Amino acid sequence: TTTGRVFISKNADKSSGSVKYTRLDSLAANSPGRFISGIAVDPARPNHAWIAYSSYSALTPATPGHVFSVTYNQGAGTATWTNLDGIGGPGFPDFPATGIAFDSVTGDLYVSNDWGVLRLPNGSSNWEVAGTDLPMVEVAGLTIVPSARKLYAATHGRSAWLLTLP
């Protein structure tokens, strides 16, 4: 939601009166109360997702961050939020994140912002520019086709771009 609320349902295929939701953002003190710009669910672990937040950390200094790894423990009723913005090395800038996509083949995470697309390589805490051929423009959406090794980036005013993934 626009106030940063995140819900999970384990029976969303039921009739509307039977669906049960668990609110996850209230289970962690470090969940930013800002607009959620994207969610990528881990295809191998459905209780794990990556969440991208818009706006600036400076607006919520007690809960900074733009990119989080979120793991829900259904049995314990808890959720762990890990800020992936980075510490020390090249971190995710204090720009609004505008989209997010997970590469299930390599484990890399791609997040877009007002200046392009950044990549967080699997196992790293350092963000890097995803591709040198992408324009420095707002990228509003990302889609990965794992079998084709392609990342599609929808930009604001510069059309859609295609990046071949490693």
d(CA 53, CA 106): 23
The pLDDT, as a whole number, for residue 81 is 93
Q: How far apart are CA 163 and CA 161, in angstroms?
A: 7
d(CA 38, CA 22): 19
How is residue 24 written in tokens?
Answer: 């996850």
Strands of 67-124, DSSP E: 67-73, 78-83, 99-102, 109-113, 116-120
List pLDDT tens digits, range 92-119: 999 899 999 999 999 999 999 999 999 9
| % of the chain residues with pLDDT over 90 | 69
62: buried, middle or exposed (CB in 10 Å: 19+, 13-18, 0-12)? exposed
Determine phi and psi for 113, rounding to 5 degrees: -150, -165
The C-alpha R_g of the chain, in whole angstroms, comes to 16
- pLDDT tens for 13-55 read 999 899 999 999 999 889 888 899 999 999 999 999 999 999 8
Determine the pLDDT at residue 88: 65
Q: What is the pTM of this model?
A: 0.91
In the chain, where does DSSP find H-type helix? none
**What SS3 class is residue 50?**
strand
